[in-house]
Amino acid sequence: MTDAATNMRLKLPITCFILEIILIILFGTLVQYDHETDAKQWHNQSHEDYENDFYFRYPSFQDVHVMIFIGFGFLMTFLQRYGFSSVGFNFLIAAFALQWATLMQGFFHGLHGGKIHIGVESMINADFCTGSVLISFGAVLGKTSPVQLLVMAMFEVTLFAVNEFILLSILGTRDAGGSMTIHTFGAYFGLMVTRVLYRPNLDKSKHRNCSVYHSDLFAMIGTIYLWMFWPSFNSAITAHGDDQHRTAMNTYYSLAACTLSTYGMSALTAHDGKLDMVHIQNAALAGGVAVGTAGEMMLTPFGSMIVGFLAGVISVLGFKYLSPILEDKLKIQDTCGVHNLHGMPGVLGAIVGAVTAALASTDVYGGGLSDVFPDVASGDVTATKQGGIQAASLAVTLGIALLGGLIVGFILKLPIFGAPPDTICFEDSIYWEVSYELIFIRVEFSTSTF
């Protein structure tokens, strides 16, 4: 299975080295420690060590980090012959994206005298942006070369930062857990890319586009880690104190409710009442996506559970009925079903966030209103208007994601990136040295028995 077109001997090293050298040069000229990581600045000020933001956010950061590298990486190992690529390309593009995101987000979110200041909060934001790229990766999984993925990551990170800047800095949108900025953006960007990269003959690789027993168990490692650490994800960059605490708790209950509705819907819709691993691996996570915006608000566990329950229902229905339609009618080949896990639940989360924001009041939030809705607390906007801004932000996000995905899709179509042919998609051995047990077994058999 070696082919000049897909040979990475030069393409991948050149891409990696050029990108990393550019990153290093830009870091050297633009990036500085912030006042909490710089030895001199931290010691110039008067404070206690436990006031350093590291102690408020680093445990959450590490949970998010696990979601990005283990969660996303292993979730995608469900394909029988694509485990190396799932974990390995996830690893590669995430390592690139988090560096590039540091620059792009720093560039947009506030230069300090022409310099980007970084610390644990920027690390979390870089991981968040990376998460969005990995969602898009799920849509094109198995059909792209590592060079294509790096190119996609470069453009997507940039557009992510633009969208995030418009929402958070210009419009004043609240989206701590990223229902819009991360999930909706990543999903619709990826769906548009995979639409542009449509492969009419993909059914020639159909026999590899499914799971086997052990690959599904590996994927469950990813699922469970995403599920467990989602409370940390949604609360990682909310305000200190009650905000982080409340956000984590709302997410915890949303996910629990979502899990029950997912199991129920999976048995209800599946053949012979048997549970479908695809649903469990994915839809059970939709509850985390759907409280990404409203999780920091006074949504209450009760509200979170309703949202989580609905997210699970929608997501399973999407896998069962909508995905086949998207593929047949709209020619969207969505390998991991990111529309069902990130797309629709992300939109749901944006709507829930808009409604919850519109209902905010000092009665409910007290002095905490300024943490969650600073513009409402300061009187700059009414709660209703904040709700409107939230809703408008969803439209902006969808627009940038779809348009960006369209353009980037066409760039990725250039026949220079070593994409696999239709006949060898979902196959590790095209980009990896692989020794399959299968071959070993067959040889063993034919020599020892006959």
Residues 154-193 vs its own copies: string with x where CB under 8 A?
----------------------------------------
What residues between 232 and 251 interact with its own copies by CB under 8 A? 232, 240-246, 248-249
Q: Is the dihedral of CA 279, 291, 404, 76 positive or negative?
A: negative
Q: Which of 96, 97, 113 is nearest to 31 (CA)?
A: 113
The residues that bridge with 115 in the sheet, in sequence order, are 112
CB of 397 to its own copies, least distance (A): 26
DSSP structure string for 139-162: HHTTS--HHHHHHHHHHHHHHHHH
What residues between 370 and 429 interact with its own copies by CB under 8 A? 371-372, 429
Element spanning 116, H or E: strand 116-118
Tokens, residue 126: 């870089």
CB of 400 to its own copies, least distance (A): 26
**Interface with its own copies (CB under 8 A), residue from 159, 237, 291, 305:** 305
The torsion angle over the Cα atoms of residues 304, 307, 310 and 316, rounded to 10 degrees, is -80
At position 309, the amino acid (one-letter code) is F
Burial 252-281 (b: 16+ CB within 10 A, else e): bbbbbbbbebbbebbeeebeeeeebbbbbb
CB of 49 to its own copies, least distance (A): 4
Q: Does the protein bind its own copies through residue 255 (CB under 8 A)?
A: yes
Q: Toward its own copies, which CB reaches closer, 337 or 405?
A: 337
**Interface with its own copies (CB under 8 A), residue from 5, 76, 78, 91:** 91
Chain position carrying tokens 């390592």: 95
**Interface with its own copies (CB under 8 A), residue from 200, 273, 379, 415:** 273
Q: Toward its own copies, which CB reaches closer, 95 or 424?
A: 95
Chain position carrying tokens 């819907």: 265
Q: Which of 209, 212, 96, 203 is nearest to 154 (CA)?
A: 96
Q: Does the protein bind its own copies through residue 40 (CB under 8 A)?
A: yes
Backbone φ and ψ of 79, nearest 5°: -70, 140
| Nearest-angstrom CA–CA distance, 100 and 127 | 11
Q: Toward its own copies, which CB reaches closer, 49 or 200?
A: 49
| Nearest-angstrom CA–CA distance, 131 and 298 | 26
Q: Does the protein bind its own copies through residue 252 (CB under 8 A)?
A: yes
**Interface with its own copies (CB under 8 A), residue from 79, 369, 394, 412:** 369
Q: Which of 150, 152, 168, 136 is nearest to 341 (CA)?
A: 136
**Interface with its own copies (CB under 8 A), residue from 156, 164, 175, 216:** 216
What residues between 96 and 155 interact with its own copies by CB under 8 A? 96, 98-99, 102, 118-120, 123, 146
**Interface with its own copies (CB under 8 A), residue from 148, 205, 261, 335:** 261
Q: Toward its own copies, which CB reaches closer, 153 or 400?
A: 153
Which range touches its own copies (CB under 8 A), out of 134-142, 215-223, 317-325, 399-407? 215-223
Q: Toward its own copies, which CB reaches closer, 265 or 344?
A: 265
**Interface with its own copies (CB under 8 A), residue from 5, 24, 111, 325:** 24
